[in-house]
Amino acid sequence: MEHITAFLTSVINVLFFKGTSIPLPSFMHSAAEFVTDVLTSDYFPLHIPYVDLYDHNLALAIIATALPPLVWNIIGPLEYYTKIPSRLSIRPIIGVYLSGAIIAALSVLRSALFIVAIRGQEKLSYFDTSMFHATGGFLAVWGVSMFLGAYYRLGIRGTYLGDYFGFLMDHKISAFPFSICNNPMYDGSSLMHLAEAIMERSPTGILLSLWLFFCYRFGCVLEEPFTSKLYAERDAQREAERLQKLAETKTS
């Protein structure tokens, strides 16, 4: 319990104050050391100005950014093929909320480690102008609008793997922000991190924002075909039921 309290306190301190560290399990640090070794090896083709590739916190942020899409692309198919998550949680709806809690917690951790990483890296005075401040503010407002708008349209079930647990939506959502792009929650989150990077004058933050965007896009490559399959199966089942009822009506 003390470890959990210390972890939550450190995350809050980073997100809302000026904290610079978060206690993490040893496997995260081991993975970060591996990422650092890769980034600083002679085989890594890029030398990135203003970015310290030896920074351990940068490696932690890279790993934490990839975790949420990876986790939901594991939990979703696992539920569809085996029903293990819903069995462990007794009921499918509880599985949705537990999955949502895990994904949300990982997302908060990602954002906190993002902030820790950019606070320890070099800042560009070139970004300290009214134009960049205004750009960062605009991107933040736009990103938050897209993120919260998508959350409002989807609800908890639609946001956190509800379709994998059998809670499919009746119709495709086309209202804002889905009228702007197909994945407003992902794009909104990326814009929010980019805005933070610009306002913090951090080249490292900009690169991490691009990495976040890439992770979301890669997650979509895995997620969208599977989601389309779920709805195609639901539509086929509805059509079969409609034809069966029609046949029963004719025979009667």
Q: Looking at residue 169, what DSSP letter applies? A: -
Judge whether 38 is annotated as a binding position.
no
Judge whether 143 is annotated as a binding position.
yes
1 falls within a domain = no
Judge whether 142 is annotated as a binding position.
yes
2 falls within a domain = no
pTM: 0.89
5 falls within a domain = no
How many CB atoms lie under 10 A from the CB of residue 234?
Answer: 15
What tokens were used for 19?
């904290």
How many CB atoms lie under 10 A from the CB of residue 61?
Answer: 30
Q: Largest alpha-carbon pair distance within the chain?
A: 80
Judge whether 166 is annotated as a binding position.
no
Judge whether 224 is annotated as a binding position.
yes
47 falls within a domain = yes
Q: What is the pLDDT along the chain (252 residues), one digit of tens a residue?
A: 666 666 677 777 777 767 777 888 899 999 999 999 999 988 877 788 899 999 999 999 999 999 999 999 999 999 989 999 999 988 999 999 999 999 999 999 999 999 999 998 999 988 888 999 999 999 999 999 999 999 999 999 989 988 899 888 888 788 899 999 989 999 999 999 999 999 999 999 999 999 999 999 999 998 888 888 888 888 888 888 788 888 777 776
Q: Phi and psi at residue 91, in whole multiples of 5°? A: -130, 150
Q: Looking at residue 202, what DSSP letter applies? A: -
46 falls within a domain = yes
* Calpha distance 164→157 (Å, rounded): 10
Q: Looking at residue 121, what DSSP letter applies? A: S
pLDDT of residue 4: 67
Domain count, the chain: 1
CB neighbour list of residue 28: distance below 8 Å, 6 or more residues apart: 60, 63, 64
Instruction: Look up the domain containing 243 and give its range.
Output: 25-251
* Calpha distance 23→243 (Å, rounded): 58
